[in-house]
Amino acid sequence: MHIERIGFTPIKGGRHVEHPSVGLALDGPLGDRLFCLVDLQRGRVLRTVDNPALLATTARWQHGQLRVEIDGRVVTAEPRSTGKKLTLEYWGRPAEVEVVDGPWADAYSAYLGRDVAFTRAVRSGELVYGASVTLITTGALRLLEEKLGHGVDSSRFRANLVIDSDDLEPHVEDSWTGGELHIGSARLRVMDAVDRCAVIDFDPATGASGSHLLTTLAGYRLRSGTIDFGMYAEVTSPGLVERGQTVMFSP
């Protein structure tokens, strides 16, 4: 097995961008979901499933500069701390963020047609729904493509790691729970399955709806009331992961 794709986004809800490598820290991929947009009136973090238009925006975080492509323009600056902290609702739990000074709040407010604040997570992992790392396998994708009768862009699943497992049975990852993945010096403990929602039916580059992935998955991956596809994992040993790198599993 080897790493086929590495993906993440510095802004929660934005397009999942492919990267040649990623540093895995104990609290997850470096640069992943550092920032988020906030609906101050409702006191909650904006979520992709409720705001699919965010998928048409692209962000890159490098050398302290945040570059955002939004609605045909590019907004680049260095985020500045305001010291103003907020405790918000995020999927039924509190999340602490800090309001960031910069051009992004105005840009996103104009794009979305409503006022939003631009914030940064106070702690790493604050803006993560499940565990800090998600992964899927190409074997599972190929089976889904067979069911659908056409190809599927793996970025629809917004996995940090896509693992080439074509030489193994589909959904081999179901048997990895509790085991470890060795990728260079990095170690990942595999946890529970990822429960999928309607986000996978939005086009990963435009946010347009129209796919039937969730319905198709429900036909053969509905287990105990959840539609499972992919696995959560946590980092037990930090390291750099690169595209093409060998992946080894140990129970």
| DSSP 3-state of 123 | coil
> For residue 129, what pLDDT band results from cuts at 50, 70 and 90?
confident
Neighbours of 143 (CB within 10 A): 16
CA nearest neighbour of 155 among 50, 10, 61, 14:
14
> For residue 44, what pLDDT band results from cuts at 50, 70 and 90?
confident
The torsion angles phi and psi of 182, rounded to 5 degrees, stand at -110, 120
pLDDT, tens digit (0-9, with 9 covering 90-100), for 187-216 = 999 999 999 999 999 999 999 988 889 999
pLDDT, tens digit (0-9, with 9 covering 90-100), for 132-173 = 999 999 999 999 999 999 999 999 999 999 999 988 999 999
- In order of their start, the domains of the chain are 2-26+131-250 (2.40.33.20), 33-121 (no CATH)
Query: Which amino acid does the sequence have at 42?
Result: R
Predicted TM-score of the model (pTM): 0.92
